[in-house]
């Protein structure tokens, strides 16, 4: 079978940077500053737009370990970060307790010199001819892939939507865990979390999935998890308790703009899901 690797020339190149997951670990609660998330998101959209429209390629495995951060002037970056974001503390029983650990290693708060690269096209696919249907990490998997419906570039957009929430809030949006009693599978739970947050799967969309009958009854309800606990993106991003608190550096007025941006990526049916080119025009990444 012809692979993507055979279609592109390769050259030796030295990359200086780190994968995104290591950068998020340095911040309290695992969330990055909003301005950093915007820069990363915009650059990822530019990369995906190039892959999708210019190369005719779908990455199919967008995740933190496949995103490389390159940062220049590391020493000045550390100094600037410490001056802009001093150690946060809290007083309990007369004692001062630091809330943010100061780590003398490169951080990504200096967005002017932040460059993002999408790496590892080892399981990428052509837009017109898929090389495999076994794609995406489970937590970042698009609904159409799970139910066996036709898929395309929208799978990368879905993964990005989940990733943006993870970068900002430090939470995995749609993790799936199998029941310890064997009542439901990890895929069942993954779908349940999507429905609880985004809403019911359209019947017209379910009908397109050759695996849909494994998960849904004829009324569009989950077979093995009938009792759901509805929430919303708004509650997850602007809630009252951790880890769902609004980011301290996101103004209240920005929340609905951000939610609208995320909803464009997390449409259950990939048909109305926004493209990378459309998302690049959205107000949130241009604020």
**Total Cβ atoms within 10 A of residue 38:** 21
Q: In 230-272, where does DSSP find H-type helix?
A: 233-237, 255-265
Q: Is 93 exposed, middle or buried (0-12, 13-18, 19+ CB in 10 A)?
A: exposed
How far apart (Å, rounded) are the C-alpha atoms in residues 206 and 218?
10
Q: How far is CA 229 from CA 109, 194, 236, in A?
A: 36, 11, 13
Q: Which has the closest alpha carbon to 80: 93, 89, 71, 92?
A: 71
**Can you give the residue ranges of every domain in the chain?**
4-286
State the pLDDT at residue 145: 98
Q: Which residue has the higher pLDDT, 91 or 263?
A: 263
Q: Which has the closest alpha carbon to 168: 250, 231, 94?
A: 250
Q: What is the mean pLDDT of residues 137-157?
A: 98
Query: Which residues neighbour 215 within 8 Å (Cβ) at sequence distance 6 or greater?
Result: 146, 147, 187, 188, 191, 222, 223, 224
CATH superfamily ID and name for 4-286: Transferase(Phosphotransferase) domain 1 (1.10.510.10)
Query: Which residues neighbour 254 within 8 Å (Cβ) at sequence distance 6 or greater?
Result: 34, 284, 287
Q: How far is CA 262 from CA 28, 106, 159, in A?
A: 23, 29, 11
Q: What is the mean pLDDT of residues 231-236?
A: 95
% of the chain residues with pLDDT over 70: 75
Q: Which residue has the higher pLDDT, 112 or 210?
A: 210
Q: What is the mean pLDDT of residues 170-187?
A: 95
Peptide bond into 132 cis (omega under 30): no
pLDDT at 6 over 60: no
State the pLDDT at residue 16: 45
State the pLDDT at residue 28: 56
Q: In 141-254, where does DSSP find H-type helix?
A: 143-146, 154-169, 186-198, 203-206, 233-237
> Any idea what DSSP says for residue 154?
H
How far apart (Å, rounded) are the C-alpha atoms in residues 135 and 142?
9
Q: Which has the closest alpha carbon to 249: 92, 114, 88?
A: 88
Q: What pTM, to 2 d.p., does this model score? A: 0.82
Phi, psi angles (nearest 5°) of residue 107? -120, 170
pLDDT at 224 over 80: yes
State the pLDDT at residue 253: 97
% of the chain residues with pLDDT over 90: 67
State the pLDDT at residue 11: 46
pLDDT at 54 over 90: yes
Q: Which residue has the higher pLDDT, 111 or 1?
A: 111
Alpha-carbon dihedral 187, 275, 130, 1, rounded to 10 degrees: -120
> Each residue of 260-286: pLDDT tens digit?
999 999 999 999 999 999 999 999 999
């Amino acid at each position: 079978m012809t692979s993507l690797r055979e279609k592109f020339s390769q050259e030796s190149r030295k990359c200086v940077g780190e994968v995104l997951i290591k950068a998020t670990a340095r911040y309290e609660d695992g969330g990055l500053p909003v301005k950093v998330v915007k820069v990363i998101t915009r650059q990822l959209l530019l990369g995906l737009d190039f892959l999708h429209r210019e190369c005719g390629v779908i990455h199919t495995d967008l995740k933190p370990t496949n995103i490389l951060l390159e940062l220049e002037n590391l020493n000045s970056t550390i100094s600037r970060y410490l001056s802009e974001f001093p150690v946060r503390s809290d007083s309990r029983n007369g004692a001062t307790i630091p809330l943010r650990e100061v780590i003398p290693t490169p951080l990504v708060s200096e967005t002017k010199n932040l460059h993002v690269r999408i790496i590892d096209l080892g399981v990428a696919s052509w837009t017109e001819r898929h090389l495999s249907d076994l794609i995406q990490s489970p937590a970042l998997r698009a609904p159409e892939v799970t139910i066996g419906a036709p898929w395309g570039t929208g799978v990368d957009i879905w993964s990005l939507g989940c990733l943006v929430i993870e970068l900002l809030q430090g939470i995995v949006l749609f993790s799936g865990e199998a029941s310890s009693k064997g009542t439901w599978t990890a895929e069942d739970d993954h779908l349940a979390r999507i429905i609880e947050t985004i809403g019911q799967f359209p019947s017209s969309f379910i009908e397109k999935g050759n695996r849909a009958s494994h998960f849904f009854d004829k009324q569009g309800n989950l077979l093995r998890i009938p009792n759901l606990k509805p929430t919303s993106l708004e509650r997850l991003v602007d809630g009252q308790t951790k880890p769902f608190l609004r980011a301290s550096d996101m103004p209240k007025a920005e929340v609905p703009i951000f939610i609208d941006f995320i909803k464009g990526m997390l449409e259950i049916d990939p048909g109305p899901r926004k493209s990378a080119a459309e998302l690049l025009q959205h107000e949130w990444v241009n604020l």
